[in-house]
């Protein structure tokens, strides 16, 4: 795989399944696995703020094995209902 434009790094903190929902048009969404990464967010004054970032994944079992360990993931960024979301690139798969 070529080097991604965005690489997200953090410690695996949690893995969860989002609830399935339905919009006003009857389209279903949700029911996705997400991994929460604890990431360092540099601030303008040089301080570091720690926060959780949710990343959609198709490999929840891999991330359960990586609990409390540092990972770096190639991601794409999207906006849904005004919120920024992250998803692992489809070309990525867990290391063997």
Distance of CA 79 to the CA centre of its chain: 13
Task: Please give the chain's pLDDT, 96 residues, in tens.
Answer: 455 578 999 999 999 999 999 999 999 988 999 999 999 999 999 999 999 999 999 999 999 999 999 999 999 888 888 888 899 998 899 987
Question: Look-up: residue for tokens 């990464």?
Answer: 37
Report the SS3 class of residue 63.
helix
Give dist(CA 35, CA 53) in Å, integer.
8
Buried b (16+ CB within 10 A) or exposed e, 21-36: eeeeeeeeeeebbbbb
pLDDT of residue 1: 47
């Amino acid at each position: 795989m070529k080097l991604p434009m965005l690489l997200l790094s953090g410690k695996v903190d949690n893995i969860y399944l989002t609830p399935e929902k339905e919009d006003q048009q009857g389209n279903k969404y949700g029911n996705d696995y997400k991994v929460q990464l604890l990431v360092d967010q540099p601030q303008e004054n040089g301080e570091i703020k720690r926060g959780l970032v949710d990343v959609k994944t198709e490999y929840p079992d891999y991330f359960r094995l990586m609990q409390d360990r540092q990972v770096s993931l190639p991601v794409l960024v999207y906006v849904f209902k005004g919120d920024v979301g992250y998803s692992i690139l489809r070309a990525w798969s867990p290391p063997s």
